[in-house]
A and B are shown apart, each in its own frame.
Chain A
């Protein structure tokens, strides 16, 4: 093989891939392998939740009236909106629409910020009500105090881990906005937009399960 044959590939295609679809397939597969580990990461917490909900059924239901369903519901809507803008951002990247891509990424980032701000307000509410597990924990129904504390611990662990993923996602979105404004993407290569889109949608899916489990259980009582 002559040296000139080796360099004959477009700049966005790494030389160890045969073609662009193969390169994209490798990235997508790697991203889903990572997301599978994330499914198990959150899965362990959902499993712990299931065990304690089964063991302390009545105590868990009694906590639901202290959950802010309005903020939780609004935040669910905010995250679904951000998933739509993210999906549209990937579409804009596919079509090479730079302006639309940047604005849709900014919209996604803003909605993520709204989610985190509402979450912070909710955490503050829990602080004021002494619902943060630890020495200062107080519960309105003393017979459930110990068991309710476990629920609030799970609430903070699960929503906190989710919020940490949102913060990482916000950092990734900022990176994408900078890269897009520096013309790093084209309709032939936009893999980071696609992959971070997958991550963002995954974080949305976690919330889709957290919302009914933490906010809506025993809501009627």
Chain B
């Protein structure tokens, strides 16, 4: 088959990194950082998800076409967020009745 076999220590290394990041995100959430608590939590979640996608899901070794499909999924989600949130967050900018 086309996938090369990945050594066990790579999987265990990623596993330990994921556990460490989970502990970090719980500990950081106990600090008082204001809105940065949210930002840090999201950054850590994105790093964890990226590790899972690249190594556990073998996207690092995948073909360019597969990588394009992976990116496309998240790109579409970015469109979903950008258009919806730009609507909701800008509604109060105009001097109108609040609808929500």
- A interface residues, Cβ below 8 angstroms from B: 20-21, 24-25, 28-29, 32-33, 35-37, 39-40, 43-44, 46-47, 50-51, 54-55, 69, 73, 76-77, 80-81, 83-84, 86-88, 91, 94-95, 187-188, 190, 194, 197-198, 201-202, 204-205, 208-209, 211-213, 216-220
Contact = CB atoms under 8 A, between A and B. Distances in A.
Contact of B72 (A36, A46, A95): A36
Given A43-B81, A204-B52, A220-B29, A95 B66 contact: no
A86 B56 CA distance: 9
Interface of B: 1-3, 5-6, 8, 11-12, 14-15, 18-19, 22, 25-26, 29-32, 37-38, 41-42, 44-45, 48-49, 52-53, 55-57, 62-63, 65-66, 69-70, 72-74, 76-77, 80-81, 84-85, 88-89, 100
Contacts, number: 142
Given A29-B69, A40-B77, A87-B11, 4 more contacts: A35-B70, A44-B80, A208-B48, A209-B49
B100 A77 contact: no
29 contacts: A20-B2, A25-B2, A29-B65, A32-B69, A35-B73, A36-B69, A40-B76, A43-B77, A47-B85, A55-B88, A55-B100, A76-B22, A77-B22, A81-B15, A83-B18, A83-B56, A86-B56, A87-B11, A88-B8, A91-B8, A94-B1, A94-B3, A198-B57, A201-B52, A201-B56, A211-B45, A212-B42, A216-B37, A219-B29
